[in-house]
A and B are shown apart, each in its own frame.
Chain A
């Protein structure tokens, strides 16, 4: 079993739709969590950090559930420009281990 798992998708949604992705992690020592966005043939870029209390940035909401060991990303009112691969990132302080999920592909269509 991989330490960080994501549904690879693809998710095909119409503009304006709400879509949610989950990411599960297996190591309870995981300390910090992020969502990165990667456009086709580009480098990953930070979308948002994920805090225990949850956080929101415009149309994007990220949440952490430590008990069930997953993080989620909710995108409201999807735009064509949201089409990308969304990567879940989990860090462990002990050993400074950084692990990326395989990514979830999102296609938003007009």
Chain B
């Protein structure tokens, strides 16, 4: 069974530039999560989708971050404009449905903002 796919794996940009990350969850998984993990910290949930609807985006900095999950499958996370403090690994995860299900993570995108 294919896992969660993410691209790109690495991205280096300058501050104030824009960047987008892509995630393809495990087939059939209704719930998709985007996390930000800063070095030395645990993953922080940015946004959670149930199919193509947003369930929780309370920690998403909406002035610069946006995310969408069209058709309830793939998802993109965008940062515009990027700040130095956005340097982190952005992890995408998916689960079958309810919050009690196991989350499967993709390999992440390592973002460096210079």
Contact = CB atoms under 8 A, between A and B. Distances in A.
Interface stretch (B18-26, B67-75, B76-84, B95-103): B95-103
Interface residues of B, number: 22
Contacts, number: 55
B105 A44 contact: yes
Contacts of B102: 34, 46, 49
B99 A91 contact: yes
B56 A95 contact: yes
Contacts of A49: 102
Given A91-B99, A91-B100, A96-B56, A43 B108 contact: yes
B50 A46 contact: no
A11 interface: no
Contact of B106 (A43, A92, A100): A43
Contacts of A96: 48, 50, 55-56, 99
Instruction: State which size class the interface on A falls in.
Output: 20 to 34
A42 B43 CA distance: 12
30 contacts: A6-B42, A32-B100, A34-B102, A43-B91, A43-B105, A43-B107, A44-B43, A44-B91, A46-B103, A49-B102, A87-B42, A87-B43, A91-B100, A92-B99, A93-B100, A95-B55, A96-B56, A96-B99, A97-B45, A97-B99, A98-B33, A98-B45, A98-B48, A98-B56, A98-B99, A99-B45, A100-B42, A100-B43, A100-B45, A101-B42
A92 B107 CA distance: 25
Interface of A: 6, 31-32, 34, 42-46, 49, 87, 91-93, 95-103
A93 B99 contact: yes
